[in-house]
Amino acid sequence: MNSNEILDREFLEIRAKILEVAAALDRIERAEGDVSGDPRMGLIADAINIIASEHSDPIRAEKIQLLFSRTYDEQWRNEFSIASRS
């Protein structure tokens, strides 16, 4: 499939998903309380920025996965006091 065919096929689905995100954010804002300081709201905002950005290499999904991931520490064995078995 070429890019036009994919856009034809997926436009309405993308539109619906964007509306779902927008409506969910509206719902949060409409409700009682304040979550503006919740780090998850910052993650959501960062993820939306990744979606909106242009990439020479299309890896938006991978970038968003990493955004929502805990940091990997190569020295994790030291923290656990576990010696390498090799």
Partner 1 sequence: MYYIDPHLHMVSRTTDDYETLAKMGCVAISEPAFWAGFDRGSGESFRDYFRQLTEVEPKRAAQYGIQHFTWLCINAKEAEDVELSREVLKIIPEFLDCPNVLGIGEIGLNKNTKNEAIIFQEHMELAIAHQQQVLIHTPHLEDKYQGTRMILDMLGEHSIDRSRVLVDHVEEHTVGPVLEAGYWAGMTLYPVTKCTPSRAVDIIERHGAERLCVNSAGDWGPSKPTAVPDLVLEMRRRGHKESLIKKVVYDNPRDFFSQSKNFNLENPAQR
Q: How far apart are the first and last CA of the chain?
A: 47
Q: Total binding residues for partner 1 by CB under 8 A?
A: 22
Report in angstroms how near the CB of residue 31 gets to partner 1 at its nearest: 22
Amino acid at 30: R
With beta carbons less than 8 A apart as the criterion, state whether 67 and 47 touch.
Answer: yes
Least spacing, CB of residue 79 vs partner 1, in Å: 8
Residue 25 zone, left/alpha/beta (φ > 0; ψ -120 to 50; rest): alpha
Check: CB of residue 45 under 8 Å from CB of residue 22: no
Nearer to partner 1, 9 or 23 (CB): 9
Q: What is the DSSP letter of 37?
A: T
| Contact pattern for partner 1 over residues 29 through 68, marking x by CB under 8 A | ------------------------------x-xx--xx-x
80 binds partner 1 (CB under 8 A): yes
Interface residues with partner 1 (CB under 8 A) are 1, 9, 59, 61-62, 65-66, 68-74, 76-77, 80-82, 84-86
